[in-house]
A and B are shown apart, each in its own frame.
Chain A
Amino acid sequence: MINIDLLVVGAGPAGLSAAIKAGNAGASVLVLERSHQLGGQLVKQTHMFFGSEKQYATHRGFEISDILLAELDKMENVTIQPHATVLAAYDDGIWTAEIEGQYQKIKPSAVVVATGASEKSLLFPGNDLPGIYGAGAVQTLMNQYGVKPANRVVMLGAGNIGLIVSYQLMQAGVEVIAVVEGSPTIGGYLVHASKLRRMGVPIFTSHTIKNAKGANTNGLESVTLWKLDENWQGISGSEFTYHVDALCIAVGLSPLSELLWQIGCKMTFSAPMGGYIPYRDKYMRTSQKGIYIAGDVGGVEEASSAMVSGQLAGISAAEYLGFEMPNMAAMKQDCLNQLASLRQGPKGAHIRAGIRQAEVSFE
């Protein structure tokens, strides 16, 4: 049995930021990360980040991961364990994990769940052919493992992930034939869309995939797209076909909330936030005392917000554990201000709606 002040589940931008703050406050912290590599999705983000200096704007994602890990490296009271999947959370406060192949029990006094999100799929005939990937999976193959995933790709989805991964595919020498978006307008940042357009990549809004064809031995060979009417129904006669060896699906993420369900956190469904998200107070506490959330598990946003919500959860958990830092209240307020500012533009409207739905007070 491992006894620890704070267990942080996940070493992405949110979990690492939470560990830094709680570690600074003096808590003994154990961070468990499923992957062999620390940093979560940051390690494969080769583009410069948006946001402001406080969220490391203009640094590339993998550089931010290095910055956070370097800071944690200096803290003797923080242990980060890769190859460690948290398996379950039980009513008696025991958490279990598989750490480098060994089953382990952990008794934390508080937990920050920063498990992130997973990619959504899409229904269409042929969607199980080899060569059909999540866009995030393709990004992992390319930017983390250095594998060129395909030669000719169609991207489904013009949100930020679809647009950014399309651009990175082109940087890796892959031909991006088209970006296809079901909505009538582009969902991601328009500067990302403009970058692709001036590389000659078409973006078809109000279009989707009709079917994918290929042989199981050869994998994907072609995709047929069609135009959607205002009721999102395919218009027959509008079909056109591209020969491709990969199709990337970038139709959103959904929060990885299994552990929160297990521990009995009250949950609510929010379509704009990607699925079921936990009720939380504004300092990131869930309906369960001592259980905090950070990052996309609380609702899918950008990595910049994930880092700030992680800091906030780390400070809150440390405070709950009885640790003190000078200016704790001011630090929490600074996080709240940063989150409000990141979310307050027109592109943050759906996030504000999700937060309004899930934010409560537990007194």
Chain B
Amino acid sequence: MLEKTGVPTETQIDSAFPNETRLNEGPVAVIECFQPIPCNPCAMACPRQAILPFADINDVPVMDNDKCNGCGLCVMKCPGLAIIVVDINWSETKALIKLPYEFRPLPQKGQILHALDREGHPIANAEVINVIVPANKTPVISIAVDKDLIKKVRNICIPEDNDSIVCRCSDITVADIQSFIAQGYTSVDELKRITRLGMGACQGRTCIPLVMRELSTALKKPISELTSGTHRPIVKSMKLGDVAAYGGKS
């Protein structure tokens, strides 16, 4: 329970979210403020009075979901970082979540982050869609996540640059691979063409299995459903001269 763990229960989270009809109608603020404390900036911040005016400064905020347009002004002004905005129909497959974030460095638009749940566990990757940095208020980061995760994702974490080497021949790190996968290079052959991995001395023996594991994680597909790419001759590098000399004078 929240008082012991600091993590709201599923029932509390459900109670903070609007119903499915309202969620489908467009972006909407979700306020996870369950304890009466003397604090009212959210209600003061809302230009549409979607957060109902407080009778007492210790009131917990109450939303009129129909008045909310998901602008996010309350997100940047809540001292408790208790508000997010959810837009479930942002794209065909992804929902957009606007989150308050008070750490440096700030993420960059287009960057791929870990999306964290309410206990700080990474549960998915998320692309940064927008970064708003209001003067003296809390920065708001918009991320795209799978629609089924809207009630799970509540924080982000910038992945540490993972500079473990995948391809020793061409000095390609796992961070490079993850970034290209996120940009849509989702097969071994595509990654090979953009990075030159597998074209060096090892001819893919070291790097291709590692790359397939990264692809499997990112695409959530078992390795058995992936292909290892086209295997072209020859299996080891040799001097062109030695090939050219075949059947010749020397």
Asked if A50 and B81 sit within 8 Å, CB to CB, the answer is no
Question: Which of A194, A343, A347 has a CB less than 8 Å from the CB of B82?
Answer: A194
User: Among B6, B58, B117, B118, which residue has the most Cβ atoms of chain A within 10 A?
Assistant: B6
* A153 CB within 8 Å of chain B: no
Instruction: Report Cα–Cα, A18/B186, bound state, in Å.
Output: 65
How many chain B residues touch A (Cβ–Cβ < 8 Å)? 42
Q: Which residues of B contact A191 (CB under 8 A)?
A: 32-33, 35, 37, 80-82
Given contacts A51-B57, A347-B37, whether A198 and B119 have CB atoms under 8 Å apart is yes
Instruction: Report Cα–Cα, A191/B44, bound state, in Å.
Output: 19
Given contacts A171-B102, A194-B82, A347-B35, whether A199 and B6 have CB atoms under 8 Å apart is no
Asked if B39 and A57 sit within 8 Å, CB to CB, the answer is yes
Closest beta carbon of chain A to B129's beta carbon, Å: 20
Asked if B155 and A190 sit within 8 Å, CB to CB, the answer is no
Asked if B155 and A199 sit within 8 Å, CB to CB, the answer is yes
Classify the secondary structure of B's interface with A: loop
* B219 CB within 8 Å of chain A: no
Asked if A348 and B38 sit within 8 Å, CB to CB, the answer is yes
* A264 CB within 8 Å of chain B: no
Asked if A184 and B4 sit within 8 Å, CB to CB, the answer is yes
Instruction: Report Cα–Cα, A190/B8, bound state, in Å.
Output: 9
Q: Which residues of B contact A112 (CB under 8 A)?
A: none
9 A-B pairs besides A49-B79, A197-B118 with CB distance below 8 A are: A52-B38, A52-B40, A57-B40, A58-B77, A58-B79, A63-B136, A186-B3, A189-B35, A341-B38
Which B53-109 residues have a C-beta within 8 angstroms of A?
Answer: 56-58, 77, 79-82, 102-104
Q: Which residues of B contact A171 (CB under 8 A)?
A: 102-104
* B41 CB within 8 Å of chain A: yes
Query: Which residue of chain B is the closest to A346 with respect to CB atoms?
Result: B36
Instruction: Report Cα–Cα, A50/B44, bound state, in Å.
Output: 12
**Interface mask (A277-312 → B, CB under 8 Å = 1, otherwise 0):** 000000000000000000000000010100000000
Instruction: Report Cα–Cα, A186/B4, bound state, in Å.
Output: 6
Instruction: Report Cα–Cα, A59/B44, bound state, in Å.
Output: 14
Binding site for B on A (CB under 8 A): 47-53, 57-60, 63, 170-171, 184-186, 189-201, 203, 205, 302, 304, 341-348
Instruction: Report Cα–Cα, A225/B120, bound state, in Å.
Output: 22
* B199 CB within 8 Å of chain A: no
Asked if A200 and B80 sit within 8 Å, CB to CB, the answer is no
Asked if A345 and B6 sit within 8 Å, CB to CB, the answer is no
Q: Which residues of B contact A348 (CB under 8 A)?
A: 38, 58
Query: Which residue of chain A is the closest to B121 with respect to CB atoms?
Result: A200
**Interface mask (B24-56 → A, CB under 8 Å = 1, otherwise 0):** 000000001111111111001100000000001
Given contacts A49-B79, A194-B32, A341-B38, whether A185 and B3 have CB atoms under 8 Å apart is yes
